[in-house]
Structure 1
């Protein structure tokens, strides 16, 4: 099955445009301050990273609404729709963190969170959106030392972020898993996720923490792997 344009593509396009405009017209605060931007998808350890910043005394903002960069120093939730390139231009001392987890677990988590049945095509489209976003991030931050990509389910993931950011502690009250969902999983979503992964040939890959998807053509994949190897990452 091929990727199609769906309502989420349109919605995310509108959200990105609105967030770029909001950032353009709102106060920036100290442009030379150290800022911490968590730029991965929701349901990928964003709450744990938010609390990691808080326990280290950093003013952290965790919300799907516009990030108020002039008032806070760390930001998380829905990072994939934020004006990352603009943040990068305005705050030269900023640190960027791409948080992710194995694809299958991400799809299960996001579907469970919304408590609705998504079609096989919905999941295929989301898989492609995620892969394309990761590709953009890897190209943008190629060779940079102010960027880290972290599989939040990897052993020592929070410690890796803490070390990278120069934080004092990686210990969180209640442990490293925060905001775990207690909502019931809808069985049909599991069936449709499996079907989407089979259709794209990603059944095995989806259980690993992969930054570069085999969805990409060979030449592009080779370039993305080189970009991945030029940055700090924990898969």
Structure 2
């Protein structure tokens, strides 16, 4: 199986995480007993649809890659995987968390098309590992909790499942599901590199399914599957 290497994204994401953590530490928190909704998955995974769902249910929702002003809004989405999730959890005891995801192949193709540049096979290998590592952290952290839901945004009824879980009156955004399908051209080299990366990782079949636990988790798969079974998960 292909191995992970350290790349420029590891450095960039590390810097962003530190900056976001510091920003959260230094900004007003508002009512710490308020119910807050944090979408903590990756971008290009239904974040716009979830934002619209929050708005339809009367929440003051902030959908942006910029720093989240947690004292000013009720719900937050975009680039959730880089946010100080544990800090939000400690600060807001009534907070609720949503780990949004989709099949790995669709995710890699979406981010590659969005950025409109050719990524190497190793870039895609590294991103697959980063994603699996983050999902493993989330499963460990939220194991056994009822204030957390993991949802494959492409699963039938996924958005309605989120709405039902949180008791929302409006089950879907009035304008329907909003999937930001890019109008930008899909670069053939990226498609080829993604398939090469998936083959090198032995994930060709898995990458077509909404898997929260991956072969990339290695010996931890059994424990992570057990953790997954303790939370609400829509795959």
Q: Structure 2-normalised TM-score? A: 0.98
Q: How far is the alpha carbon of 1:172 from its aligned partner?
A: 1.8
Three-state SS of the structure 2 residue aligned to 1:67 is coil
User: How many residues are paired up?
Assistant: 234
In structure 2, C-alpha distance between the alignment counterparts of 1:164 and 1:135, rounded to whole Å: 22
Q: How does 1:22-171 map to 2 (within 5 A)?
A: 22-171=23-172
Unaligned runs of 5+ in 1: none
Residues 116-146 of structure 1: per-residue CA shift (max 9 Å, x gap): 0000000000000000000000000000000
In structure 2, C-alpha distance between the alignment counterparts of 1:58 and 1:186, rounded to whole Å: 38
Tell me the residue number matched to 2:209: 208
Q: Structure 1-normalised TM-score? A: 0.98
Unaligned runs of 5+ in 2: none
Tell me the residue number matched to 1:233: 233
Q: How far is the alpha carbon of 1:173 from its aligned partner?
A: 3.3
In structure 2, C-alpha distance between the alignment counterparts of 1:113 and 1:107, rounded to whole Å: 10
Asked if the contact 2:143–2:227 (Cα under 8 Å) also holds between the matched residues in 1, the reply is yes
CA-based RMSD of the aligned residues comes to 0.7
Q: How far is the alpha carbon of 1:215 from its aligned partner?
A: 1.2
Asked if the contact 2:39–2:78 (Cα under 8 Å) also holds between the matched residues in 1, the reply is yes
Tell me the residue number matched to 2:18: 17
Q: How far is the alpha carbon of 1:216 from its aligned partner?
A: 1.8
Tell me the residue number matched to 1:194: 195
Residues 181-217 of structure 1: per-residue CA shift (max 9 Å, x gap): 1111000000000000000000000000000001122
Q: How far is the alpha carbon of 1:110 from its aligned partner?
A: 0.4
